[in-house]
Structure 1
């Protein structure tokens, strides 16, 4: 299978960018899916020890991928403890 793909890429070099961009897009989407499943507080894998992980987040925990305007390390607690 890979030999046939390599043979076609040698005979049609215009297909190389297509394979690169499709491979890069698949890699980025897999990375995004893995990061959302492992780092997002809305997604929980262990319901017995921590059924509500979003309640244990502090006011300066950054769970977004990146933040343009907010510096999470300088935020103060503005909510009561329950």
Structure 2
């Protein structure tokens, strides 16, 4: 695949920005999916040792990538301990 892209880029240099944007977008989407799969508390890969990973997050812990107007340090605990 990369050999073919390299061959086309040599013959048509105007395609280089297109290839750069496609590769950058693919890498960004892959990294975001990896972050969702590994860092999201709703996803549980180890069900034997930690069946409910969302209970380990403190009430002031931020797990979202981007929080609009939310100060997590001022939140109070609103869930029971198990």
CA drift of 1:3 comes to 4.5
RMSD of equivalent CA atoms? 1.8
Deviations for 1:52-77, whole angstroms, at most 9, x for unmatched residues? 11122221011111112001122222
CA distance in 2, matches of 1:14, 1:27: 21
| Partner of residue 13, structure 1 | 13
TM-score by length of 1: 0.84
**1:13 CA drift (Å):** 1.1
Residues matched between the structures, number: 82
- The unaligned stretches of length 5 or more in structure 1 are none
Q: CA deviation at 1:2?
A: 4.2
- What are the ranges of 5 or more consecutive residues in structure 2 without an aligned counterpart? none
TM-score (norm 2): 0.84
